[in-house]
Chain A
């Protein structure tokens, strides 16, 4: 088996006329936590959807275990997706199902397990994320952090090989953030997963990631182990990890000359 679970080479993707990715190459190492960071709007979520083949690239490909995922037939794709898990930013719980049923959903759809076995498995997963007591609540009654933990349980229950997290820490209080970090780290180590975290929370992500890629303007602008990236002083990376308002990523949205614009009014 190859050491890289995912290989992306020369990936190009446009939305309408806007270039989202302009030749991205990256590799995800098996069993590690890889973080993909970048400013808002740099297409990090799009990258996850490309890996999950919900979107199709204009050029280049994504190899999952050596197979080009965008060349698979519908049936094979659905089969391959069973070994992937994607946790959405919002959690994306099914609002008409209770917490218990949400977590049980993948089992009910993909297996013919008896009801008491499903119950045990779901309760085990909920226990792992600390929400066994919340099983009868509806998603609308959960806080954002709890919803993400339920979503994590729901994604893990089908035993994926690759876990993708879309902005798992965004908008959470420090306690919830700590809980989520621990859960993600534990899941990766105990269940021997490979994890991809898309985030722009530099400090938190860097503390659990094994490898970091930084994306900006549709390209990889820096990559390496967390310590190396924090020390990197190339303009893009430096600006991003230290949160400088102006730099390689300009403060101003592209516009014509300020004075000309005012005078032309």
Chain B
């Protein structure tokens, strides 16, 4: 019994330690003198790696999720004779919940795991170590641009996801199921609020982007530099990010519905 309590304590301590280490890493990445002239090309490169390369998967998933949502929603709304509300249903579910959450989950799987694997491999092949010996701070040169790129890309990707999903819903609702396009848009417009719905969705995605890149960067930077260690770190990135996204989504939603 005592042994189990001890194990719990040891787990708690190591958890706190890891949290502390990651917070220090984060602070060291964020709090530094900006060197825009040299940092900008690095940031652009990472925006490409993190943002542009995730674009295809985001657009395709957005399109299909919007389409399937319209199809399912139509069948349910049809029972109440309220199919004119389809636009509202699709837009609200995408803008408030599905947009930020699914984009973040895809982002964790596509960009987060790549980030972790890349940093872990750099650690394993002593690239980070050799950079330190060249008197170049790897946090500045390697970690920081990746972190900011993730933070910037997430809301952009989310916005793109949202609009593709809405048009996916439009495609099915109007093009296939034969709803009136005017009603589709008008009902959507009368119920979706720019600040309450869209902005909150974008804020959520910003928070998710922050957490996912933080986890990926931490897991990669402190990965055990062996192939098994990197594999484990990549898995952890995806698992922890997904859990964090879903948990945070609940907390943020309850705050937002509670009107802050």
Direct contact of A and B (CB under 8 A): yes
Residue contact A88 to B132, C-beta cutoff 8 Å: no
**Residues of the B chain whose Cβ atoms lie less than 8 Å from the Cβ of A82:** 135
A257 interface residue per 8 A CB criterion: no
Residue contact A81 to B132, C-beta cutoff 8 Å: yes
Beyond A54-B132, A81-B132, is A88–B126 a contact (Cβ under 8 Å)? yes
A105 interface residue per 8 A CB criterion: yes
Interface majority SS on B: helix, strand, loop or mixed? helix
CA distance A49 to B126 in the complex (A): 12
Residue contact A105 to B125, C-beta cutoff 8 Å: no
Considering only CB atoms, which chain B residue lies closest to A87 in the complex? B130
* Candidates B129, B132, B136; contact of A106 at CB < 8 Å: B136
A158 interface residue per 8 A CB criterion: yes
CA distance A78 to B140 in the complex (A): 13
B236 interface residue per 8 A CB criterion: no
Instruction: Give B120-140 interface residues, CB cut-off 8 Å to A.
Output: 121, 125-127, 129-137
Beyond A92-B126, A94-B127, is A86–B136 a contact (Cβ under 8 Å)? no
B141 interface residue per 8 A CB criterion: yes
Beyond A90-B125, A94-B127, A95-B125, is A79–B133 a contact (Cβ under 8 Å)? no
CB distance from B140 to the nearest CB of A (A): 9
A84 interface residue per 8 A CB criterion: yes
Beyond A90-B125, A90-B126, is A54–B133 a contact (Cβ under 8 Å)? yes
**Residues of the B chain whose Cβ atoms lie less than 8 Å from the Cβ of A85:** 133
Contact size class for B? 10 to 19
Instruction: Give A86-129 interface residues, CB cut-off 8 Å to B.
Output: 86, 88-90, 92-95, 105-106, 109-110
CB distance from B221 to the nearest CB of A (A): 14
A218 interface residue per 8 A CB criterion: no
Pick the most buried of B127, B131, B135: most chain A CB atoms within 10 A of its CB: B135
**Residues of the B chain whose Cβ atoms lie less than 8 Å from the Cβ of A89:** 126
CA distance A95 to B123 in the complex (A): 12
Chain B 15-46 interface mask (CB, 8 Å, partner A; 1/0): 00000000000000000000000100000000
**Residues of the A chain whose Cβ atoms lie less than 8 Å from the Cβ of B38:** 109
**Residues of the B chain whose Cβ atoms lie less than 8 Å from the Cβ of A86:** 130, 133
A52 interface residue per 8 A CB criterion: yes
**Residues of the A chain whose Cβ atoms lie less than 8 Å from the Cβ of B131:** 94
CB distance from A175 to the nearest CB of B (A): 25
CA distance A75 to B126 in the complex (A): 22
Chain A 32-67 interface mask (CB, 8 Å, partner B; 1/0): 000000000000000001001010000000000000
**Residues of the A chain whose Cβ atoms lie less than 8 Å from the Cβ of B135:** 78-79, 81-82, 110
**Residues of the B chain whose Cβ atoms lie less than 8 Å from the Cβ of A81:** 132-135
Beyond A52-B133, A81-B132, A109-B134, is A92–B141 a contact (Cβ under 8 Å)? no
**Residues of the B chain whose Cβ atoms lie less than 8 Å from the Cβ of A94:** 127, 131
Considering only CB atoms, which chain A residue lies closest to B124 in the complex? A90
A contact set with B: CB distance below 8 Å: 49, 52, 54, 78-79, 81-82, 84-86, 88-90, 92-95, 105-106, 109-110, 151, 154-155, 158
6 A-B pairs with CB atoms under 8 Å apart are A54-B133, A84-B133, A92-B126, A94-B127, A95-B121, A154-B134
